[in-house]
Structure 1
Amino acid sequence: MSWQAYVDDHLVATGKVSKAAILGKQGGVWAASSGYNLSQSEQDAVVRTYFTQPDSIRASGIILNGFKFMCIQANPDEVIGRKGERGVFIFPTNQAILIAEYDAPTSAGEANIVAAKLADYLKSVNY
């Protein structure tokens, strides 16, 4: 299965995730939903800062596709952001980082279940 199929079929097609991307931990976008364009500085922040310097992200927020989320939680297993009725979950796997955004009327819990399930699967197959 292609990386794009994971984004399209396992995240966005569920109706619980509005935008998503998979980044390689060594850099680069492996796949992204249509119109979800992460700048190089946004990619670098996700890969190099979000899981290693949680205090930094808590202070500065999460910026993805030009949109700034307030950091709700940042730890080595998950980063969570929210602003208004939008939110984001960011999960590291063995070789990648999964980003899943959601919008109302989807609840945070609904989106989290979908994103966490894919992250767990990728970890189970060593990605």
Structure 2
Amino acid sequence: MSWNEHISSLEKSGGVTKAAIMGQDGSTWAITEGWRIEESEVKALMAGLSNSAAFQESGVTVAGVRYIFIGGTQDFIRAKKGQTGLHVSKTEKALIVGYYEDPIQPGKCSQEVEKFADYLKGLQY
């Protein structure tokens, strides 16, 4: 299955409106058509996974939109803005970014992104 097919699968899951598979270096492996995540945003996500203090102060920015940082660990980030939000999960080599909007619930987005991240971790990606 190609990276683009994985994006399509995430979108069809009912838990993700838009998705991206990014290299930890900021490169784009696959992304929902028409959505753009900057390399600098990926680097900020990677830094925030190690130390979330910056997110607590200024939020999380993805695709040019600033979200309120809800929480996270060294493996994931959750952020929200109004009726939309993000779940970002880190694997060995990638970041999986899932975006949702109402009526999708945050937990459903988290579940789908984490399930895909676990799949990639199993393949050592």
TM-score, normalised to structure 1's length? Answer: 0.92
Determine which of 43, 54, 71 is the counterpart of 1:56. 54
Q: Give the corresponding residue for 1:23.
A: 22
- CA distance in 2 between counterparts of 1:27 and 1:67 reads 17
Map 1:1-127 to 2 at 5 A.
1-9=1-9, 11-47=10-46, 49-127=47-125
Contact 2:76 2:89 in 1 (8 A): yes
- CA distance in 2 between counterparts of 1:39 and 1:96 reads 15
Contact 2:25 2:43 in 1 (8 A): no
Shift of 1:58: 1.6
Structure 1 residue ranges (4+ consecutive) displaced by more than 2 angstroms after TM superposition: none
- CA distance in 2 between counterparts of 1:99 and 1:105 reads 18
Contact 1:69 1:83 in 2 (8 A): yes
- CA distance in 2 between counterparts of 1:26 and 1:38 reads 12
- CA distance in 1 between counterparts of 2:74 and 2:90 reads 8
How many equivalent residue pairs? 125
TM-superposition CA deviations, 1:80-122 (whole Å, max 9, x none): 0011110100000011110001011011111111111001111
Shift of 1:77: 1.7
Structure 1, unaligned runs of 5 or more? none
Give the superposed CA RMSD.
Answer: 1.2
AA paired with 2:28?
Answer: V
TM-score, normalised to structure 2's length? Answer: 0.93
Structure 2, unaligned runs of 5 or more? none
AA paired with 1:34?
Answer: E
AA paired with 1:6?
Answer: H
